[in-house]
A and B are shown apart, each in its own frame.
Chain A
Amino acid sequence: MKRMLGLFLGVVMVLSLVLAGCSSSETNSNASGNEGDNGSDSGGDKVTLTMGSWRTEDKAAYEKIIKAFNEEYPDINVEFKPSKNTEYNTILNTALQSGEGPDIIQLRPYAPGMELAKAGYLEPLDDLNGIDVFADDVIAAAKSEDKIYGVPLSLNSAQMFYNKKIFEEHGLKEPKTWDEFIEINEKLKKEGVTPIALGTKEGWLLSLGHSIVGPAHYGANEFVDQITAGEKNFTSDEFVSSIKAMDELKKYFPDNYEGLGMEDIRTLFFTEQAAMFPLGSWEIEVLREMNPDLDFGFFPMPSAVGKEPTMTTWVDGSYGLNVNSEHKEEAKKFLEFMTTEKFAKLFASELSRIPAVPGVETGDELVTAMAEASNQYSTPYLMLVHFNEGNPTTKATLETELQGMYLGKVKPEEVAKKLQENAETYYEPFQK
């Protein structure tokens, strides 16, 4: 029997060695990749740049984009090396701390990305050719202390997607008022269709959902101006009513919504079991891939307080330059390329996303319609653009507190109060 135990321990040890072997071989391949870079440096003519990103799903598209770049600059190799969304910051931070990291770094938008600039890991890009094509509120996503640290990549919008076929079958039209929106939900529910595909298991879905539904209740940009000036705060009635609206909508969520995450709700929508899907523009590509026959559109969120409907928009990431890069000149060439219309067109058509470079025809009906609506009805993603600071961030606080609200642990007023307490720790307009 002792022998058996020994055998088992042996097996375990061998297995752990194999596992360790796997992980070390991974790092080895990375290391050898770097050596390869150095090797080509010494050759003198070809330079290899690495690009860090959290968009693992965009790899194929970037290969095409890089090919287009190489038509102009055949001597600059660019390697797109994304890592998993949720691990990206950790991997990047560790690399930067040890003076390494990719030459071109995809930056999270607004405050979190600009933390890298504050820590001195980014090269200012104020004099980059072409950086002036971007609108002020777009470039604001990559600005820290009046310096520009990134080339904005794309605009994200969050809105309600809907299944056109289901809407038609049930005789429904895009809602023009909040009451119409509620009527649609009621009708669908009565007729046995899940109205809104949203789950509360993953917090970020909730802050995103609030970014779509919230402005309809707090009164969009007027309130945003007031709160950022410190005239209003999270405990103001306007904001509390937006949290209450989120609470009311739970009647229209799928069964067991407490246990549903991103994959689950996406599945409900593309398998046509749910009629509406409150999510970001980046989902278009995934939905089309999952179900090419899915006929879906979007509508701007109708206001509950008699204002214009809203499209929630923000800048999604930008590309910055590593201050420790050995090939800054070459990297700048690539960043310059990212400000051109050629890049923007390619980016839009390959990824069905709204490029940050303005006035580019995307060649995709839905994306074009969304870009237009975003222009017309734009309201910022309040939490991401203005309140993504603190520890935990106000945005993360909203996420967990909304989760608590859906689980019946906190009331909407308490959610608002928690947000206010959190924001007061760092937000200057609240500290007066």
Chain B
Amino acid sequence: MELESKVNIQTKSKQKKDWKKWVIHLFPIPALAIYILFIIYPLFAAFSYSLYDWQGIKRGAFIGIENFISLFTTEPFNSMFWNAFQNNIWYFLLEMVVQNGIAFMLAYVIYKKIRFAEFFKVAYFLPRLLSVIIVGFLWKLILNPNFGALNVFLNKIGLESWAKPWLGDPDTALISIILVNSWFGLGFAVLIFLAGLQGIPGDLIEAARLDGATGPKLIRKIILPLMVPSITIMTVLTFIHAFEAFELVYAMEGSMGEPYYSTDTLAVYFYRLAFGGSGGADSVAIGLGSALAVVLFFIIASISALFLLVLRKREVEM
């Protein structure tokens, strides 16, 4: 009898434990539900939309991959696609060099424990706390050709010939936007690199020093290889960010990627196709837009995976 009840208690507590284990799996459900509703579902919805013919905002017949074909073979869709694609690549390359390059140097300087390091860290990160739209608006004012701070400053110091309609000239518009974006994203990159630098054990660097490694050599042979994980993260994030570039372009140049499509990106082009372009009064092509979204998804997913694969191989075990 006694034994039996003991067993009973044991199984009960075991049951309780099982129940607990099981219930733990329920906790992700709210987050998962949101994720499915807002990420997974739209993904598949876009994929299915891209296979239909659309008259305005009404879904028509199933047409297979015809939307994809016209996206790549008919004018002006194909030239717009390649133009936007090219701009995206510029976006990525320039951000890698300017944003991540400067961020790495700044992170290194902060890491070397200069004075007010804490202050600089916060200062670099501050722009990131602003909404992208505010950043866009702010820089649009600064870059205004006739009343903007930049051109007024250039005129004041006698460099009139340098003053340009920055956002209106196709030669400078894209670069201006990328630089603004780099300014915006700098702080985040500094943080990632700084975390990477601080993850390197001090004794390792000390040992290298004792072996005679200094300055550039130390960076090249010791620090950089050990920083590969942070560099991987920043490369992939920058790539994804560059190929999703939308907000700043939209805020500063509108949905037409003005001037003359010189700041058009794939995401802006997608917006224009799916939701209508100039002045919001344009007609929409949801089928083509969805096809473009699907293509964009595959570009980002496959190239990010490739980056991870290649860069992971270069990571050094400590």
Chain A interface (Cβ < 8 Å from any Cβ of B): 1-2, 4-5, 8, 11-12, 15, 19, 54, 84-90, 93, 96-97, 108, 111-112, 115-116, 118-120, 199-204, 254-260, 264, 267, 388-393, 395-397, 399-400, 403-404, 407, 409, 421-422
Q: Does B167 contact A (CB under 8 A)?
A: yes
Query: How many inter-chain residue pairs (CB < 8 Å) link A and B?
Result: 146
Q: What are some 5 contacts across the A-B interface (CB < 8 A)?
A: A8-B191, A119-B55, A203-B256, A396-B278, A407-B169
In the complex the two chains form, is B146's CB within 8 Å of A255's CB?
A: yes
A354 CA to B19 CA in the complex, in Å? 73
Partner of B261, one of A5, A19, A400: A400
In the complex the two chains form, is B56's CB within 8 Å of A258's CB?
A: no
In the complex the two chains form, is B146's CB within 8 Å of A254's CB?
A: yes
Closest to A201 in B: B168
Q: Does B283 contact A (CB under 8 A)?
A: yes
Closest to A409 in B: B260
Partner of B165, one of A96, A119, A256, A400: A256
User: What residues of A have a CB within 8 angstroms of the CB of B255 in the complex?
Assistant: 86
Q: Does B75 contact A (CB under 8 A)?
A: yes
In the complex the two chains form, is B170's CB within 8 Å of A118's CB?
A: no
- Cβ of A248 to closest chain B Cβ, rounded Å: 19
Q: Does B127 contact A (CB under 8 A)?
A: no
Instruction: Tell me how many residues of B have a C-beta within 8 Å of chain A.
Output: 50
- Cβ of B166 to closest chain A Cβ, rounded Å: 7
Q: Does B284 contact A (CB under 8 A)?
A: yes
A8 CA to B75 CA in the complex, in Å? 47
Partner of A87, one of B169, B194, B280: B280
A86-B279, A260-B146 given; A200·B256 CB < 8 A? no
User: What residues of A have a CB within 8 angstroms of the CB of B259 in the complex?
Assistant: 200-201, 258, 403, 407
A258-B165, A259-B169, A396-B256 given; A264·B277 CB < 8 A? no
In the complex the two chains form, is B166's CB within 8 Å of A259's CB?
A: yes
User: What residues of A have a CB within 8 angstroms of the CB of B144 in the complex?
Assistant: 259, 264
In the complex the two chains form, is B275's CB within 8 Å of A15's CB?
A: no
- Cβ of A419 to closest chain B Cβ, rounded Å: 12
Q: Does B76 contact A (CB under 8 A)?
A: yes
A259 CA to B273 CA in the complex, in Å? 25
In the complex the two chains form, is A392's CB within 8 Å of B76's CB?
A: yes
1/0 per residue, CB under 8 A from A, across B139-176: the answer is: 00001111100010000000000011111111000000
Chain B interface (Cβ < 8 Å from any Cβ of A): 55-58, 75-76, 121, 125, 128-129, 131, 143-147, 151, 163-170, 191, 194-195, 198, 254-256, 258-261, 272-273, 275-285, 288
- Cβ of B185 to closest chain A Cβ, rounded Å: 13
Partner of A258, one of B143, B168, B191, B261: B168
In the complex the two chains form, is A90's CB within 8 Å of B280's CB?
A: yes
- Cβ of A83 to closest chain B Cβ, rounded Å: 10
User: What residues of A have a CB within 8 angstroms of the CB of B168 in the complex?
Assistant: 199-201, 256-260
A86-B255, A259-B165 given; A93·B194 CB < 8 A? no
- Cβ of B61 to closest chain A Cβ, rounded Å: 15
User: What residues of B have a CB within 8 angstroms of the CB of A93 in the complex?
Assistant: 57, 275, 284
A391 CA to B55 CA in the complex, in Å? 12
A199 CA to B131 CA in the complex, in Å? 28
Partner of B58, one of A1, A85, A108, A120: A120
A4 CA to B107 CA in the complex, in Å? 14
In the complex the two chains form, is A202's CB within 8 Å of B254's CB?
A: yes
In the complex the two chains form, is B169's CB within 8 Å of A89's CB?
A: no
A1-B198, A201-B259 given; A407·B170 CB < 8 A? yes
Closest to A85 in B: B280
A236 CA to B104 CA in the complex, in Å? 58
- Cβ of B278 to closest chain A Cβ, rounded Å: 5
A233 CA to B125 CA in the complex, in Å? 56
- Cβ of B247 to closest chain A Cβ, rounded Å: 13
User: What residues of B have a CB within 8 angstroms of the CB of A108 in the complex?
Assistant: 281
- Cβ of A172 to closest chain B Cβ, rounded Å: 24
Partner of B125, one of A8, A54, A116, A389: A8
User: What residues of B have a CB within 8 angstroms of the CB of A395 in the complex?
Assistant: 278
In the complex the two chains form, is A15's CB within 8 Å of B129's CB?
A: yes
Partner of B283, one of A8, A115, A201, A403: A115
Closest to A410 in B: B260
User: What residues of B have a CB within 8 angstroms of the CB of A90 in the complex?
Assistant: 275-276, 280
Interface contacts beyond A85-B279, A400-B260: sample of 20 additional A-B pairs, CB < 8 Å, sorted by A: A1-B194, A2-B195, A5-B191, A54-B280, A89-B281, A90-B280, A96-B57, A108-B281, A111-B283, A112-B282, A119-B55, A200-B259, A256-B168, A257-B168, A389-B283, A392-B272, A392-B282, A393-B282, A396-B277, A422-B76
